[in-house]
Amino acid sequence: MSALLSGIGYERWVLDVLMILPLVGALGVALGPQLWPAVAVKKIALGVALAEFVVSMGLWWAFDPTIASMQFEVQHDWIPEWGVTYHLGIDGISLFMVLLTTFTMPLAVLSSWNYITEREGPFYSLLLVLTTGMLGVFVALDMFLFYVLWEVMLIPMYFLIGAWGGARRMYAAIKFFVYTFLGSLLMLVAILVMYYVVGRETGVYTFSYAHLVENAQYVGPWAFWLFAAFALAFAIKVPMFPFHTWLPDAHVEAPTPASVLLAGILLKMGTYGFLRFALPFFPEVALHPAVVAIVVPLAVVGIIYGALVAMVQPDFKKLIAYSSVSHLGFVMLGIWALTLQSVQGAIVIMINHGISTGALFFMAGMMYERRHTREISAFGGIARVVPAFATILTLVALSSIGLPGTNGFVGEFLVLIGSFGEYPIATAFATTGVIFAALYLLVALQKILFGKLHPDNEKMPDLSVRELFVLSPLVVCIVWIGVYPAPILHRIETSAQALVTQVRSQVSGQTQVSVPTQLPVVGNVEEGGGSGEGGGVPAATETTVSSLLPPPSSLVSPAGGSD
């Protein structure tokens, strides 16, 4: 298979095609009614999404799991004057985010089939533009490009919620937009600061990810603030407690496919951002005891808090939304524990959450289409009339609970066992999440499926063939990843190990010198001569808030960083 793929030059064009195809498709969908009035736009959209998926499937075989660095790289000049390039690439960390996106898109289109009846053209166009945006975020290797795509994907989502959403859609859409935008603007500032500082120090002004990550130590005293800006942008996206309140509103009001993409893909951009940018750029800040003391407890609080609040939600979609806060808490814990197992587990949870929570949102949508309500109490006892639906909902819920044999277990187990060595107490608290997850999902399952059948539900139709087509691939993945995740873990391993090693080596190279180097005291920063001396760093004596402010002179001081 991989020989065949290389025979057609797959690795040279795959990412370009994946990026451009949805845009062409969006154009086709927009112009479709004029050009081909006989063809329904949703069929065009489905065709494009399927083509996208088929093209991306080649990555599974063509990807070389033994290489830690980027593969399938493409690079074209974009704005040479600013050092901006169109630079894409995939490694073991982004591979499955790309596949998850292309896998989810056809299902999202299919789930909209009868649900979206108004303004179909714009709807599917936006969905396809969103695809390019999402894929781009995962494969961009240029910070400028990354930022542009990060914002690009915000706009279609804003419209999908605002135009096709529920009763409070405008409130939810604006909240989603403003909240996320606030974070991304801070990130933009951070990217620009990095660009200038690193440019000044190295003489090469470029937005290239590789260049910036290699020379990130030059930001010296700015590191804390830059990290904070990135972290806030990503934490909002994840969303980490307490930046999560946009999520329930956005989820509840969004139409089904938007909810699925929001949960399945968009949230992963936050955790992906931590893995790809925040940690490799600023390892010392990220693993500084003070930062760890904030992030890790917040992750654990998110796990438990999300689960407890999910338990009492009367609205099924809101319940799923809060469960996402809980699940993503595991991912954050895994990322911060930064062991091979915990990072692999975190990535597997990111995949799983896309599959299981995606499936839950699809099914919430199917329930809504039947009863026009999301209230859990409107259901009850429907297992008898919709056995296929009940079977799949049970399986999906079990996967979300993390039952061994389903995908959910593999991710959680790896995260927890990988994190336990680093943060035993926090991990022990996080492990209580397995109890709370069972609590909120089984309570919901019982209220929806079991008990007395309400007369209104007696005529409820079971799953249609189209709905089975939406859910079956997800069910297959739930079982497959649960039983035989080795091929996936194998493809993630090398890159994850490289990330862990890279980040850890920078931290361990510094710890003996002085931990709070990246938090310098105002006015205590000397002009360092060259970057070679690991010990030539201004040592900070205290880390009060005022001391965190970098003085202008520190812009040129090479504080911190191993060679």
Q: Which residues bind another protein (CB under 8 A)?
A: 175, 178-179, 242, 244-246, 305, 308-309, 311-313, 340-341, 344-345, 381, 383-384, 387-388, 398, 403-405, 409-410, 413-414, 416-418, 420-421, 424, 427-428, 431-432, 434-435, 438-439, 442-443, 446, 449-453, 483-486, 489-490, 493, 497
3-state secondary structure 331-371: HHHHHHHCCHHHHHHHHHHHHHHHHHHHHHHHHHHHHHHHH
311 vs 540, which CB is nearer to another protein? 311
Residue 234 to residues 183, 229, 267, 384: CA-CA distances in angstroms? 7, 9, 9, 43
104 vs 341, which CB is nearer to another protein? 341
Q: How far is the CB of 447 from another protein (least distance, A)?
A: 9
Name residue 88's beta-bridge partners.
74, 140
- Exposure on the CB side of residue 70, measured as CA atoms within 13 A: 18
Residue from 297, 257, 237 nearest 164 by CA: 257
Q: How far is the CB of 442 from another protein (least distance, A)?
A: 5
360 vs 382, which CB is nearer to another protein? 382
19 vs 236, which CB is nearer to another protein? 236
Start-to-end CA distance of the chain, whole Å, equals 41
Which token pair is 472?
């079956």
116 vs 343, which CB is nearer to another protein? 343
219 vs 386, which CB is nearer to another protein? 386
20 vs 312, which CB is nearer to another protein? 312
Q: How far is the CB of 87 from another protein (least distance, A)?
A: 30
Who's near 136: CB < 8 A, 6+ residues apart? Answer: 19, 88, 145, 146, 149, 152, 153
Q: How far is the CB of 63 from another protein (least distance, A)?
A: 17
Q: How far is the CB of 435 from another protein (least distance, A)?
A: 5
Residue 107 to residues 47, 86, 354, 355, 466: CA-CA distances in angstroms? 12, 29, 12, 11, 10
217 vs 313, which CB is nearer to another protein? 313
3-state secondary structure 100-113: HHHHHHHHHHHHHC
Cα radius of gyration rounded to whole Å, the chain: 24
CB atoms within 10 A of CB 425: 11
Q: How far is the CB of 341 from another protein (least distance, A)?
A: 5
Q: How far is the CB of 203 from another protein (least distance, A)?
A: 39
Q: How far is the CB of 426 from another protein (least distance, A)?
A: 12
